[in-house]
Amino acid sequence: MTTKDLVPAPSGPAVADVTVDQKAKEWAREKLSQMTLEEKVSLLTGQDMWRTNAVQRLGISRIKTSDGPVGVRGGIFTDGVKAASAPTGNVMKEVCEVLISEARSKEVDVLLGPTVCLPRTPLGGRNFEAYSEDPFLTGKLAATFINELQKAGIGACIKHYAANDQENRRFFIDEKIPDRALREIALQPFQIAIRESNPWTLMTAYNRINGIYCSAHEFLIQKVLRGEWQWDGLTMSDWFGTNAIVPSLTAGLDLEMPGPVRRRGEHLIDAHNKSLVDTSFIDASASRVLELLHKVGKSDKPDWQEGPEAAEDLPEHRQILRRAGAEGIVLLKNSGNLLPLGTLDGKTIAVVGPNAARSVATGGGSSNLEPHYRTTPYDSIKAEVAKKFPAAKVQTHRGILTHRYLPLVSPNVMKNPETGKSGFVLSFWRNLEHKGEPFQVENRPSSNLVCYDTLPPELTTGERYSYRGRTTITPKTTGVHQFSLSSCGPGKLILDGNVIVDIDRHWWSPKSALFMSYGSPEERVDVRMEAGRQYELVLESVSREPKPYDLDYMAMLEREEVQDGGRIGFLENPGDLDGYMQEAVDMARASDVAIVVVGKDHEWETETSDMVSMDLPGRSNELVAAVAEANPNTVVVNQTGSPITMPWLDRVPAVVQAWYQGQEQGNCLADVLLGAVNPSGKLPITFPRRIEDTPAYVNYPGEHDVTYYGEGIYAGYRYYDFKKVDPLFPFGAGLSYTTFEYSNIRLNKDILAPDGEIEVAVDVTNTGSRDGKEIVQFYVTHINPRLGRPPQELKGWDKVSVPAGQTVTARAVLDKVSVSYWDDSVDKWVMEGNAELYVTAAKDSRDQGLSASFRTSAKDFQWVN
């Protein structure tokens, strides 16, 4: 169920292409025999931010990687070539077709996804990347993603191994996870996906598990991944997440990313010369790098120079992403059948709220990219209404401000003094005084002046430099406006020759507005400015101090030069904020229908920081309540990747969970609200009523960099069911514009053997007047198991299209994975002999549904892979 958009689960384990694997091993073996120690070691670290090292002497090319789970950004992190922005979390074969095409247009060999870590708390900053809170569902969806990419020759990188489920202190946190929870919850998505798709690469996590960093975790990599699961692909670190030289290699970490080299290189050669690491470890990891090179088709392409990345905005891709996004939207409430909006001729529709007239394509961090284009709810609704109801009127008002940081300088008020276009001119010097001629000058389109991707290697690994960004600002209004600055090294923001912000020291604060930079907290200043007057705006700063390699890992990460740079914000005086909100409420009152678009964005919901609350930002709840009171026909649209509190739920007739739907987000929403698409999405996560009800509440975020997984195997809906805590909306919930009834559940056999399967089927009748799609969920329950079990667990699903008035059959297959649990007394999966179970076909995790019983064969069965 991402249940945001489901595809049928693979019917069984993927069969590895033995011929391809064998040829890759033979080619790697031949090349390895010709290499020097130095050349082998060079393969074990990146060349730059996204590429591995080449060995030109032997015709060995390099591998190019790229983020990520919801698009292919390419080789520039900030202000790079535009790319298709897919719906977050949706997995469809057609969406993978878009990603494959995008990867080829940017010459990408390995896509850094899928993300399969489970959302442990609604506050997780990276939850929006995840597929689901359920490990079985997540693993199955990830396998589909991986299989589709790799059939086309694009490598997939499943991540982050393992349990990278909080951003708060992610470099340091030690997660104390009991064995059963580790196996059944944290590791199971990886195990299922690896068994059914054989990903070519895997990325380790930043965090520690039971005292050991994941990138040097011998138990996780050598015993479980390589030993039990018999997986022989390439392991790479998360970016800047290699925390040791020899221990990471002997634990099984093949590739340190990114480059240039930080931990390995000369340090690893020196360790080898001192007999601290055997050649066999170096050879094994170098071989896997070479094998990957062969798998992605570069063994016979010793190209050292890439062509320019292309931005291919194809009409067929637009259609795919629009369809995928609409099918992922979840209708949570629809009292009185307010939706879909009916005949609107002559009527007025108010589209209000902080996200009404802006594009919120995705969350922040590794998933963020610049889409080919953007759509907004207001623009899309207005366009679609005009096609069908030309006499209708659609209007919009923001109502409130909800920014976490001051917005970046608007392109409409800034001008690059050299190009005359919107943006900054950014100059670099190989000294700390901005003296002499700059060695590099770039034109940047935004005021997020990240310094990394385009710099020479020596400047990203220690050599100090200074930089200056310049633009002109012409405000539209007269008044007291706000500027802000967040920078990594000491920096000054200068307006018309006057220093308005002075950051006089180096920073490594995770509260920075700069992604991955650990720069300064945002500093704001009020400045009075005149409308129409041109002001010169300058940022002068220097890179951070080089990190000392004699520090231990935790201290080094505190000072890690992940990125340098500065972020400049600018907000013109919005005037009376109370009056501003009242204008939106008055617009809603004067309209026939009010659509309130609220949510979060890439600043609130982002990699590197967790959220502080389940509440919507700013005065969002106040705005929703006021609009609901003013207009009885109020539709609330929420754009988040995580659950939120809804104190206004009883006062609004319709609620839509829209997620982050990429570049087509406005069109997707318009299709659902106006009825062009009958919604069929289901919640892949439980929406609790309050944060205090959540499984990890007592233990998150931990103390002294330690967090205990006290919920054990009772994660997600398992916890709410076991504790009998009523959620706001249960896992799997989602309405349609039609209605469905289930009947005639049956099994094709009533005994499940260890190597056997049982098919469960149920008839689904569309009892409404519209064609629709329904996702039938199959939950398995153990009767009197030896060890404690959740009341039920999702073990299958089927998405069926049912014409109005007709009946179709939904099916799923149960096997040993469906009925086994991890027994830590024997360290194996156990399928109890002669166990009594039943399977329920349900509409969500709290639906009673229809059940059928079955048993396992008489003898206990134990297994590991």
- Model confidence at 6: pLDDT above 50: no
- Annotate 586-617 with DSSP letters as a single string: HHHHTSSEEEEEEE--TTTSBTTB--S-SSPS
CA atoms within 13 A on the CB side of 361: 21
Q: What is the predicted pLDDT for the residue at 295? A: 96
Distance CA 581, CA 595 (A): 15
Question: What CATH number corresponds to the domain at position 540?
Answer: 2.60.120.260
Is residue 453 within 8 A of residue 489, CB to CB? The reply is no
Amino acid at 96: C
Q: How far is CA 520 from the centre of its chain?
A: 25
Pair 360, 440 in one domain: no
Within the chain, what is the greatest distance between any pair of CA atoms? 85
Q: What is the predicted pLDDT for the residue at 196? A: 96
Pair 566, 639 in one domain: no
Distance CA 188, CA 146 (A): 16
Mean pLDDT of 740-763: 97
Q: How far is CA 334 from the centre of its chain?
A: 29
The backbone region for 458, taken as left when phi is positive above 0, alpha when psi lies in -120 to 50, beta otherwise, is alpha
Pair 750, 663 in one domain: no
Residue 216 lies inside a defined structural domain of this protein: yes
Pair 208, 68 in one domain: yes
Mean pLDDT of 824-830: 96
Distance CA 274, CA 463 (A): 29
Put the strands of the sheet holding 174-176 in their side by side order.
212-213, 208-209, 174-176, 706-708
Structural domain boundaries enclosing 803: 740-863
Residues 786-821 have pLDDT tens digits of: 999 999 999 999 999 999 999 999 999 999 999 999
Mean pLDDT of 502-522: 66
Which of 571, 597, 612 lies at the terminal end of a domain, its last residue?
571
Residue 730 lies inside a defined structural domain of this protein: no
Pair 289, 185 in one domain: yes
Distance CA 776, CA 763 (A): 10
Q: What is the predicted pLDDT for the residue at 26? A: 94
Distance CA 674, CA 340 (A): 5
Mean pLDDT of 578-605: 96
Residue 421 lies inside a defined structural domain of this protein: yes
Pair 109, 136 in one domain: yes
Q: What is the predicted pLDDT for the residue at 630? A: 98
Residues 684-716 have pLDDT tens digits of: 999 999 999 999 999 999 999 999 999 999 999
Is residue 855 within 8 A of residue 836, CB to CB? The reply is yes
Which of 544, 571, 598 lies at the terminal end of a domain, its last residue?
571
Confidence of residue 850 (pLDDT cuts 50, 70, 90): very high
Confidence of residue 420 (pLDDT cuts 50, 70, 90): very high
Least confident range from 196-205, 374-383, 556-565: namely: 556-565
Question: What CATH number corresponds to the domain at position 27?
Answer: 3.20.20.300
Which of 520, 550, 571 lies at the terminal end of a domain, its last residue?
571
Residue 775 lies inside a defined structural domain of this protein: yes
**DSSP letter (8 states) at residue 691:** G
Q: What is the predicted pLDDT for the residue at 667? A: 97
Distance CA 476, CA 672 (A): 37
Pair 565, 593 in one domain: no
The radius of gyration of the chain's CA atoms, rounded to the nearest angstrom, is 27
Asked if the bond preceding 679 is cis, omega within 30° of 0, the reply is: no
Q: Structural domain tally of the chain?
A: 4
Pair 286, 385 in one domain: no
Pair 126, 236 in one domain: yes
Distance CA 167, CA 607 (A): 6
Residues 314-362 have pLDDT tens digits of: 999 999 999 999 999 999 999 999 999 999 999 999 999 999 999 998 8
Question: What mean pLDDT value characterizes the chain?
Answer: 91
Confidence of residue 634 (pLDDT cuts 50, 70, 90): very high
Q: What is the predicted pLDDT for the residue at 11? A: 36
Mean pLDDT of 607-625: 95
Residue 389 lies inside a defined structural domain of this protein: yes
Q: What is the predicted pLDDT for the residue at 177? A: 98
- Model confidence at 562: pLDDT above 80: no
Q: What is the predicted pLDDT for the residue at 15? A: 40
- Model confidence at 674: pLDDT above 70: yes
Residue 1 lies inside a defined structural domain of this protein: no
Pair 131, 36 in one domain: yes
- Residue 115 Cα distances to 135, 494, 700, angstroms: 12, 41, 21
- Model confidence at 728: pLDDT above 60: yes
- Model confidence at 33: pLDDT above 50: yes
Asked if the bond preceding 260 is cis, omega within 30° of 0, the reply is: yes
Residues 132-182 have pLDDT tens digits of: 999 999 999 999 999 999 999 999 999 999 999 999 999 999 999 999 999
Distance CA 453, CA 455 (A): 6
- Annotate 100-155 with DSSP letters as a single string: HHHHHHTT-SEE---B-----STT-TTGGG---S-HHHHHHHHHHHHHHHHHTT-E
Residue 745 lies inside a defined structural domain of this protein: yes
Cross-strand bridge partners of residue 83: 371
- Annotate 458-492 with DSSP letters as a single string: HHHTT---EEEEEEEE--SS-EEEEEEEEESSSEE
- Model confidence at 457: pLDDT above 80: no
Distance CA 647, CA 148 (A): 42
Question: What CATH number corresponds to the domain at position 831?
Answer: 2.60.40.10
Residue 695 lies inside a defined structural domain of this protein: no
pTM for the model stands at 0.93
Residues 276-289 have pLDDT tens digits of: 999 999 999 999 99
Q: What is the predicted pLDDT for the residue at 19? A: 67
Q: How far is CA 117 from the centre of its chain?
A: 10
- Model confidence at 558: pLDDT above 50: no
Crossing angle (nearest 10°) for helices 665-673 and 377-388: 50
CB atoms within 10 A of CB 211: 10
Least confident range from 443-457, 575-589, 683-697: namely: 443-457
Q: What is the predicted pLDDT for the residue at 5? A: 44
Pair 535, 632 in one domain: no
Pair 262, 326 in one domain: no
